[in-house]
Structure formats: structure tokens, C-alpha cells
């Protein structure tokens, strides 16, 4: 794979006259230097490619031969025809992540269309109704984990409320030389297979595990380790930025004093990152493609499938390191912002592995001292043991309508809203950290109606068997989709009955996160990270008729069953 980002970036300043029109005009200044496709007709070919990183070459599934796939640059108000040709020997698909479009164009095999057979071309065509930073990826098999993803940026029809002089798109992802099916097999046989950072008896004795005997006993009872944070991690993954590993050091250029817009996309299969640029403050201006009131921070967490746009303004003639550290600190992606190619800045070492906390267990923020007293709060037959938080396989305490079979090994008795809390691994860093409640929609939200009904959906799992689902059922066992009346406004609460984070994504819609923020300005998202032991409430206007995927965006969780279909009816005419 060529170091094409660096090569193209190097010539950019001198080649302005040769750039296509979209790159020269407008107030937005210099645009991204990734291979870019634009215009009303775009041809994409899905195929096999070799991919080299860290001096080793593996097998990737790519679009037009590059990883990540080409940057698609569209304009709000245009019509786009995307012809996708499949040269694989298996079905493929492309889902346009975060885009509002007719459901037949959404690209989920078995839900919105049949998929794209080998040697077939499928033409997606739809009007572009929004602007912002998005991405696209396969929704077939585990192809996304092999490189089938790319960035998608839509420029606004009118003036961009975000002022900047130059931009770079940063596609964060994870790459393994192990085939994703093998990764999944290993997880099914042993969910802790990739975790080389578990606590140990020696670590308990010498204090390096930073936990008490009591905590260790509790985690042991849950058959969990406080460092079960990511199922797949740096023990097999190389973390990429724009398709380049840490040593290759993808570099984006700036001139000191410029306002640089970074469009950060987490296109990982399984990796949640904490992102920072030591020495530079970042002003968050957009989340999931929706503009937010500018908020300055030093580090933010980006879950799988989320996007964040930040503005940085480096004033010194020096390089800065962009760090995307896996939340379990088992590895990092690294890139550089610099005035000239070849400049580098210090790369900070990986920070100490964090431990999950009582709150991640659903312990509702109780301090450690009160734990013992809560141990006997309930005593249902069949419960492995009782705690105020996660309750292991306790049918009597399960919410109604929830299947408590082999697919559920715990139920969260005290889920709490954690949208205002610092995310995993960042609770005690000594700088500013973005939390969801910092996000405030720039424009007023369109639908101000109060919800007319409520719905609770549990995120469930059996961690020991690597089974995942909604309300105790994996997708293959689910007989009923989630039904919404067209245009109805529903308040949905997601309850995380597990001790892992789940980035939950709804296709075809944006939902309003109930953050308690300014009225009418709560943030709109297409993906929300539901923290371990936490709950998230959002208000949804079901205004897109059709059938839509609703799933955890950790690829292997989706594959293992955390997936359902959302059905919005009627398809035609006015809402009833």
C-alpha cells in the first residue's frame, strides 16, 4: 500500500491550481488529501487486495483497491448514483452510515435489499438531504473487519457554520492479520482470549492491580475481570489512522495559525478509542454529522461508528502527535499534524490499563463500604448471588417480556444514566474530557413534541459464551421486529445489562439523546455508546418509513446476535 496520504499532502500546497473545483472554492479552504471521488455518478468496486502494515502483508477486502475506501465527497441537495460492483466470490453490500435515504438504498442484506451477488453491480441512487461527516461500510458477513469501509463527507448547501482554513479526515480503524472468523471462533471458545491484561493473584498481592481483595472477590463472583474492557484488542490489532500503522505515521499538514478541521471517524470493527493531541486543545463542533455548539476539550472518547469533528489551531512551527488510544490501553493509533512532511513529535507511552469500576457493574455509584450490606437485598431461587447491581441469572427479577435463558447471564438491577460521566479509562486523567452531556445541538431540533409512548430495550449477553442480544434474545431467535407508527415520537431507554460498552446504532434516523441539556437543543445522534451498567434514553421521531437495522456496532456483537429490525409503518401516505 502506498503512503498516498503523505505523498498527496506533500504536493498539496503547490498544486492548488490543479485541484478539482470543489477543493478550490468555498470558504472552507483546503480539503482532505485522501483519494477522493465526487460528482453525481460514482463507481465503486469491491474486491480483494493485499494490505501491508508494520512490514507484513495480509489479505484485505477493499473498495477501488484502497484501505480505507475512497473519500466520497458529496454536496447537500445533489442527487447521487453509486454503482457498486462486486468482484468477490461472496455477497457484499454497502451501508451509508448516518445517511437519511429511502430504506431500499440503506444497504443491509435481508432487511432493505437482497445484497449484491458476486459479479453483479447494484446501483444506489438517492437525494443527498443533509451535510456533515459520515462513512460507509459493508453490512455483509465480517467484511468490514477486513477493510471494507471508507469516509463520506457532505458539504452543506449554504454557508458552513463551522469556520476553518483546512481539513483532514481521520479514519480510525483496527487491523488484524488473523481472519475475523478465526477471531470470532476464538471469542466463542474463550471470551477472554485476547485479553493479556487481566488481573492476577500476583498483581493483587503486590498492589499493581490497584484493587482490593473485596473487589477481586466481587469480580470473581461475576466471573468477570475488571479489565474485560474490549473483547479484541492490541494483542492482535494494529490500530490504523487513514490505513497507516503507528510507525508509518500518517501525516497531515498545516500552516501555523490555521484553523484545522479534523473529521474523526471510528470505522473500527471492535475498537473504542480515546483521542487526544498532546499540546493542542480541540474544539468539538460536530458529532455524528450534526453540528453542536463548540465545546473545547483535551480528550474525547469515540465509540465504534461515531464521528466527531474538531477544530484545532496549532500556532507553533512544530509537529503534534494525534493519539487514538484503545480504551483498554492495549495499543494506539498514531498520526502527526505538522507544518512539513517528515517532522514528528514525541509519542506518549500507553497509559496504565484502567480497571472497570463498581458503576460499570451497575452498582449505582455506591461506595465500597456499603457493598456488604447490599449483598442480601433479594434472594430469589436460581440467582447465583445477589447484588444491587448486576444480578446473575435471576428470572424473578427480570423485566417483563425478557427472555432469561442461556443468552442472559446477568440483569442490571440499578441501571443509571451515565451520559454526564467521564467514559471508561478517562475518569481520572488530569485534563478536560468530553462527556455526552457537553453536546448541545447548534440548530434547534425540528420535532418538539413530547413522546407519546415509552419503550425499554435491554442490551443483554452471556459473556462466557460470547452470546449477545436484545431483551435476552439473539437475532436468530427474535420473531418480532420493533414497530413504530410513522411519525410517532417515542422515548426509548436502552438498559445495559452487561459490563461491556455497546455502541448502539439505528439506521435511517437520528435520535435525540435525553441529556437534560437546553430544551430543543439536546444532541442528535445515529450511534450512542451505552456504558457498562448504564442506561441511555433517547427520543425518536420515527419519520422514515421502511425497515431499518438496529444493532450494536461492535461487529462481533452484532454477528453474535445483538441486532434487530425496526419497522416504521405505514410506508405510504400520511401517518394514521
Pairwise CA distance, residues 299 & 559, whole Å: 31
Per-residue 3-state assignment (H helix, E strand, C coil) for 486-543: CCCEEEEEEEECCCCCEEEEECCCCEEECCCCCCCCCCEECEEEECCCEEEEEEEECC
Stretch that binds Cu ion, among 186-194, 344-352, 407-415, 553-561 (CB under 5 A): 553-561
Q: Which of residues 398-427 bind Cu ion (CB under 5 A)?
A: none
Stretch that binds Cu ion, among 39-47, 127-135, 531-539, 545-553 (CB under 5 A): 545-553
Residue 177 makes CB contacts below 8 A (sequence gap 6+) with 56, 58, 236
Cβ at position 486, least distance to Cu ion in Å: 28
Cβ at position 279, least distance to Cu ion in Å: 34
Nearer to Cu ion, 316 or 464 (CB): 464
Nearer to Cu ion, 215 or 497 (CB): 497
Nearer to Cu ion, 80 or 552 (CB): 552
Identify whether 68 is preceded by a cis peptide bond (ω within 30 of 0): yes
Q: Name the phi and psi angles at 135, rounded to 5.
A: -155, 175
Cβ at position 412, least distance to Cu ion in Å: 14
Q: Name the phi and psi angles at 337, rounded to 5.
A: -105, 130
- Asked if 552 touches Cu ion (CB under 5 A), the answer is yes
Cβ at position 521, least distance to Cu ion in Å: 29
Cβ at position 558, least distance to Cu ion in Å: 7
Cβ at position 468, least distance to Cu ion in Å: 6
Q: Which helix (H) or strand (E) holds 203?
A: helix 201-206
Per-residue 3-state assignment (H helix, E strand, C coil) for 15-59: HHHHCCHHHHCCCCCECCCCCEEECCEEEEEEEEEEEEECCEEEE
Cβ at position 325, least distance to Cu ion in Å: 20
Q: How far is CA 454 from the centre of its chain?
A: 25
Pairwise CA distance, residues 342 & 336, whole Å: 9
- DSSP, collapsed to helix, strand or coil, labels residue 114 as coil
Pairwise CA distance, residues 215 & 203, whole Å: 13
Stretch that binds Cu ion, among 9-17, 29-37, 365-373, 554-562 (CB under 5 A): 554-562
As a dihedral over the C-alpha atoms of residue 209, residue 214, residue 217, residue 219, rounded to 10 degrees, the angle is: -60
Residue in 73, 509, 551, 557 binding Cu ion, rule: CB under 5 A: 557
Stretch that binds Cu ion, among 54-62, 431-439, 448-456, 552-560 (CB under 5 A): 552-560
Nearer to Cu ion, 280 or 494 (CB): 494
The count of residues interacting with Cu ion (CB under 5 A) is: 5
- Asked if 312 touches Cu ion (CB under 5 A), the answer is no
Pairwise CA distance, residues 386 & 382, whole Å: 10
Pairwise CA distance, residues 51 & 503, whole Å: 27
Retrieve residue 474's grid coordinates: 439473539
Nearer to Cu ion, 502 or 505 (CB): 502
Stretch that binds Cu ion, among 98-106, 147-155, 401-409, 555-563 (CB under 5 A): 555-563
Q: Name the phi and psi angles at 34, rounded to 5.
A: -80, 155
Nearer to Cu ion, 351 or 465 (CB): 465
Q: Which of residues 252-291 bind Cu ion (CB under 5 A)?
A: none
Retrieve residue 408's grid coordinates: 442472559
Cβ at position 550, least distance to Cu ion in Å: 12
Pairwise CA distance, residues 29 & 564, whole Å: 42
Neighbouring-strand partners of residue 37: 72
Cα torsion 153, 154, 155, 160: sign: negative
Nearer to Cu ion, 557 or 559 (CB): 557
Cβ at position 144, least distance to Cu ion in Å: 14
Nearer to Cu ion, 270 or 338 (CB): 270
Nearer to Cu ion, 246 or 532 (CB): 532
Cβ at position 554, least distance to Cu ion in Å: 4
Residue in 63, 260, 554, 555 binding Cu ion, rule: CB under 5 A: 554
Neighbouring-strand partners of residue 124: 82
- Asked if 99 touches Cu ion (CB under 5 A), the answer is no
Pairwise CA distance, residues 489 & 15, whole Å: 50
Nearer to Cu ion, 277 or 558 (CB): 558
Residue 418 makes CB contacts below 8 A (sequence gap 6+) with 359, 531, 533, 534, 535
Cβ at position 557, least distance to Cu ion in Å: 3
Nearer to Cu ion, 120 or 464 (CB): 464
Pairwise CA distance, residues 419 & 423, whole Å: 9
Q: Which of residues 518-537 bind Cu ion (CB under 5 A)?
A: none
Nearer to Cu ion, 34 or 222 (CB): 222
Cβ at position 490, least distance to Cu ion in Å: 22
Identify whether 83 is preceded by a cis peptide bond (ω within 30 of 0): no
Q: Which of residues 490-509 bind Cu ion (CB under 5 A)?
A: 502
Stretch that binds Cu ion, among 20-28, 292-300, 330-338, 551-559 (CB under 5 A): 551-559
Q: Using CB under 5 A, list all residues that contact Cu ion.
A: 502, 552, 554, 557, 562
Amino acid at each position: 500500500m502506498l503512503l498516498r496520504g503523505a505523498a498527496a499532502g506533500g504536493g498539496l500546497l503547490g498544486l492548488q491550481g490543479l485541484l478539482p473545483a470543489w477543493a478550490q472554492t468555498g470558504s472552507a479552504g483546503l480539503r482532505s488529501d485522501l483519494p477522493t471521488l465526487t460528482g453525481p455518478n460514482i463507481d465503486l468496486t469491491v474486491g480483494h487486495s493485499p494490505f501491508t502494515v508494520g512490514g507484513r502483508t495480509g489479505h484485505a477486502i477493499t473498495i477501488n483497491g484502497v484501505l480505507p475506501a475512497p473519500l466520497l465527497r458529496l454536496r447537500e441537495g445533489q442527487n447521487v448514483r453509486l454503482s457498486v460492483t462486486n468482484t468477490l466470490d461472496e455477497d457484499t453490500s454497502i451501508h451509508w452510515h448516518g445517511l437519511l435515504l429511502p430504506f431500499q438504498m440503506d444497504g443491509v442484506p435481508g432487511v432493505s435489499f437482497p445484497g449484491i451477488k458476486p459479479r453483479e453491480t447494484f446501483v444506489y441512487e438517492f437525494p443527498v438531504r443533509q451535510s456533515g461527516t459520515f462513512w460507509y461500510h459493508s453490512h455483509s458477513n465480517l467484511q468490514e473487519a477486513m477493510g471494507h469501509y471508507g469516509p463520506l463527507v457532505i458539504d452543506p448547501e449554504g454557508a458552513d457554520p463551522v469556520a476553518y482554513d483546512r481539513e483532514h479526515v481521520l479514519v480510525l480503524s483496527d487491523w488484524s492479520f488473523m481472519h475475523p472468523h478465526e477471531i470470532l471462533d476464538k471469542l466463542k471458545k474463550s471470551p477472554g482470549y485476547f485479553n493479556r491484561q487481566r488481573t492476577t493473584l500476583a498483581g493483587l498481592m503486590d498492589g499493581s492491580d490497584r484493587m482490593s481483595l473485596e473487589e477481586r472477590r466481587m469480580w470473581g463472583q461475576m466471573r468477570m475481570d475488571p479489565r474485560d474492557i474490549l473483547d479484541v484488542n492490541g494483542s492482535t490489532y494494529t490500530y490504523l489512522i487513514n490505513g497507516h500503522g503507528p510507525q508509518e505515521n500518517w501525516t497531515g499538514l498545516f500552516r501555523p495559525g490555521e484553523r484545522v478541521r479534523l473529521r474523526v471517524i471510528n470505522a473500527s470493527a471492535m475498537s473504542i478509542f480515546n483521542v487526544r493531541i498532546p499540546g493542542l486543545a480541540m474544539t468539538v463542533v460536530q458529532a455524528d454529522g450534526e453540528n453542536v455548539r463548540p465545546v473545547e476539550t483535551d480528550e474525547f472518547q469515540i465509540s465504534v461508528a461515531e464521528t466527531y469533528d474538531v477544530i484545532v489551531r496549532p500556532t507553533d512551527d512544530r509537529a503534534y502527535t494525534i493519539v487514538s488510544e484503545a480504551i483498554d490501553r492495549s495499543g494506539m493509533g498514531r498520526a502527526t499534524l505538522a507544518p512539513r512532511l517528515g517532522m514528528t513529535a514525541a509519542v506518549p507511552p500507553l497509559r496504565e490499563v484502567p480497571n472497570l469500576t463498581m458503576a460499570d457493574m451497575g452498582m449505582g455509584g455506591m461506595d465500597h463500604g456499603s457493598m456488604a450490606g447490599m449483598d442480601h437485598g433479594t434472594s430469589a431461587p436460581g440467582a447465583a448471588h445477589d447484588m444491587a447491581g448486576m444480578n446473575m441469572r435471576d428470572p424473578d427479577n427480570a423485566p417483563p417480556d425478557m427472555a432469561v435463558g442461556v443468552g442472559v447471564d446477568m440483569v442490571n438491577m440499578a441501571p443509571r444514566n451515565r451520559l454526564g460521566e467521564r467514559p471508561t479509562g478517562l475518569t481520572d486523567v488530569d485534563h478536560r474530557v468530553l462527556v455526552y452531556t457537553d453536546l448541545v445541538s447548534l440548530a434547534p431540533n425540528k420535532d418538539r413534541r413530547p413522546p407519546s409512548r415509552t419503550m425499554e430495550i435491554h442490551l443483554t449477553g452471556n459473556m462466557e459464551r460470547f452470546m449477545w442480544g436484545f431483551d435476552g434474545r439473539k437475532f436468530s431467535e427474535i420473531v418480532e421486529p420493533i414497530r413504530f407508527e410513522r411519525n410517532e415520537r417515542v422515548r426509548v431507554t436502552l438498559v445495559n445489562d452487561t459490563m461491556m460498552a455497546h455502541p448502539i446504532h439505528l439506521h435511517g434516523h437520528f435520535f435525540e439523546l435525553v441529556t437534560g441539556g437546553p430544551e430543543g437543543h439536546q444532541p442528535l445522534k445515529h450511534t450512542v455508546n451505552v456504558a457498562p451498567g448504564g442506561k441511555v434514553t433517547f427520543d425518536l421521531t420515527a419519520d422514515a418509513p421502511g425497515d431499518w437495522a438496529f444493532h450494536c456496532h461492535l461487529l462481533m456483537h452484532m454477528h453474535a446476535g445483538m441486532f434487530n429490525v425496526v419497522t416504521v409503518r405505514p410506508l405510504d401516505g400520511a401517518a394514521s
